[in-house]
Amino acid sequence: MLSASPVGADGNWPAEAVRDALDLFRSNRMIEGFIIGTFDRRGVTTRMPGDGGNLERDEATKYRAWAKTITYEHPHTAKALDHLAEDYERDAQRHDEDAERLDWEY
């Protein structure tokens, strides 16, 4: 539910109320649910076989920028956003390796 948050009035995601809740309760389960829900809300992506992980790098960049902006007022939410960015960076690496492997097969 928290992962369905709109962008906040300040242009950062998630909205201020969600940030406040995550930082107030500091619940590992709540933060894990937020991370999983956010990751799952992205849905399925498609790409050409040799495209690699550019889509995931774009997502990682977006989450890192939001984390950097809110880190002082909402450190726990920022940490969750950094965790999402790290997950996307790992996925990007995996897609890059898949694309490279496919390139060697032809």
Residue 7: count other Cβ atoms within 10 Å of its Cβ: 11
Taken as a whole, the chain contains a residue count of: 106
The answer to whether 63 and 85 are in contact (CB under 8 A) is yes
Pure H helices in the chain: 16-25, 28-41, 54-70, 75-105
Give the confidence band of 28 by pLDDT, cuts at 50, 70, 90: very high
Are 15 and 74 spatial neighbours (Cβ–Cβ below 8 Å)?
no
> What per-residue confidence (pLDDT) applies to 102?
80
Degrees (nearest 5) of the Cα angle 47, 50, 106? 135
Instruction: Write out pLDDT tens, residues 41-75.
Output: 999 999 888 899 999 999 999 999 999 999 999 99
pTM for the structure as a whole: 0.93
